[in-house]
Structure 1
Amino acid sequence: MARAGLTPDRVVRAGAELADDIGFAELTASQLARHLGVKVPSLYTHVGGTHDLRTRVALLALAELADLAALAVAGRSGKAALTALGGTYRDYAAAHPGRYAATRMRLDHETALASAGPRHAALTRAILRGYQLPEAEQNHAVRLIGSVIHGYIDLESAGGFAHSSPDSTTSWLRALDALDVALRAWPTPSDER
């Protein structure tokens, strides 16, 4: 019998909080069962095991982050929108490191399409309207923006910038400046090599 008060939503939210505390890679159904004070089989009433738990935490985190990013970007364009998007991701990663790591989880095709992942891509494409990039170039630009933002956050989270000057926030702002310049001066496609 399931423990009174536990629901799939509460279990997933507890899993997200635990991931923030111990790291997403360490999140397992058995770790969460211990954390909640239930036996693992009781947890399986609500989630189908570790992979299902991690997938649900990833879906929750993607949705939370998409909601925050949409609010941050609304009414902005160009560099202001780019900075708002990047800042939202970076702040979320600092406040919720396990959940942020969950957003990087590779989802199967159907789950990915049903997730908030496409909302993130749509937000990034909306930002590109301010840069007037041709539609044929937008996938490249979306990938560049994601690489810079997520790559920087991953390196910063791993302590990659902790032992040098200037502080990482100064470099973050410079990276966004450089990304803005790159988007404004987007190159004409060269011949395929």
Structure 2
Amino acid sequence: MRAKLSTAAIVETAAKIADENGLDTVTLTYIAAKLNIKKQSLYNHIDSLFHLKCELVIYANAHLKQYLTHAAIGQSRDDAVLEVAKAYRQFALIFPGQYQAIISLAWECKEDEKFKAASRDLMDVLFKVLSQYQLRDEYLTHAVRGLRSIMHGFVSLEASGWFHQPITKEDSYLLLVQTFIYGVEAVEKE
């Protein structure tokens, strides 16, 4: 017996396809085939491929938030930053299609209220982690932007195959994050 079709099931299928085969392979035809249904049946739950991709971005944001939150639990200050950074990179490596959706499709969905809420929830994790440092409000925002830029920049370059030296990528990443932490601690003392 076929499981009941829902928007959540469609979005989860889209996420799985994106992670396994790349974001560009997420089509309504492919999703319908994976779910063993007619393509037209999808329209009972989604309006269009654009709508589905916005739902995918929201789903991926929530999934990444869950990853980062889990990593931060029980950690403080430097350890929290390091664990969140490790979790961010791990998420991008394990769920590359979802990560790509967050990065490349978010701009298209920026007016969607559910997307805005999911993005705020995701960023709240970074704000909470970095709020453990004694930073003035504007520096806290700068620190969140900086940490996200460092994590995304490294992960994006890694995914594009830019690191070829025999030194481990993980060591490079952790050194970069540790350098960021030293910078935050220096600003904290001002």
Q: Is 1:84 aligned with 2:87?
A: no
Q: Greater helix percent: which structure?
A: 2
Verify the 8 A CA contact 2:131 2:140 in the aligned structure 1: no
Q: Map of 1:56-95 to 2, 5 A cutoff?
A: 56-95=55-94
Deviation at 1:179, TM superposition (A): 1.0
Verify the 8 A CA contact 2:64 2:88 in the aligned structure 1: yes
CA distance in 2, matches of 1:187, 1:79: 13
SS in 2 for 1:186: helix
Aligned to 1:14: 13
Aligned to 2:179: 178
CA distance in 1, matches of 2:65, 2:3: 32
Q: Map of 1:1-193 to 2, 5 A cutoff?
A: 5-104=4-103, 105-106=105-106, 107-109=109-111, 110-115=113-118, 117-161=119-163, 163-186=164-187
CA distance in 1, matches of 2:13, 2:115: 22
Verify the 8 A CA contact 1:28 1:53 in the aligned structure 2: no
Deviation at 1:33, TM superposition (A): 2.0
1:89-148, Cα deviation, whole Å (9 max, x unpaired)? 111111111111122232223233222x21222111112223211112222111111100
CA distance in 2, matches of 1:80, 1:186: 18
TM-score (norm 1): 0.87
SS in 1 for 2:37: coil
Verify the 8 A CA contact 1:90 1:153 in the aligned structure 2: yes
CA distance in 1, matches of 2:70, 2:50: 30
Deviation at 1:4, TM superposition (A): 6.0
Identify if the C-alpha distance between structure 1 residues 131 and 187 changes in structure 2 by more than 3 Å, giving closer, same or farther.
Answer: closer
Deviation at 1:187, TM superposition (A): 8.4
CA distance in 2, matches of 1:4, 1:86: 37
Verify the 8 A CA contact 1:16 1:99 in the aligned structure 2: yes
Deviation at 1:44, TM superposition (A): 1.4
1:137-163, Cα deviation, whole Å (9 max, x unpaired)? 2221111111000111111112111x2
SS in 2 for 1:185: helix
Identify if the C-alpha distance between structure 1 residues 35 and 181 changes in structure 2 by more than 3 Å, giving closer, same or farther.
Answer: same
Deviation at 1:85, TM superposition (A): 0.9
| Residue identity in the other structure for 2:168 | D
Q: Which runs of 4+ in 1 moved over 3 A?
A: none
Identify if the C-alpha distance between structure 1 residues 94 and 13 changes in structure 2 by more than 3 Å, giving closer, same or farther.
Answer: same
CA distance in 1, matches of 2:43, 2:5: 11
Larger displacement relative to structure 2 (22-31 or 63-72): 22-31
CA distance in 1, matches of 2:75, 2:133: 12
TM-score (norm 2): 0.88
Question: Unaligned regions of 5+ residues in structure 1, if any?
Answer: none
CA distance in 1, matches of 2:117, 2:131: 25
CA distance in 1, matches of 2:147, 2:52: 29
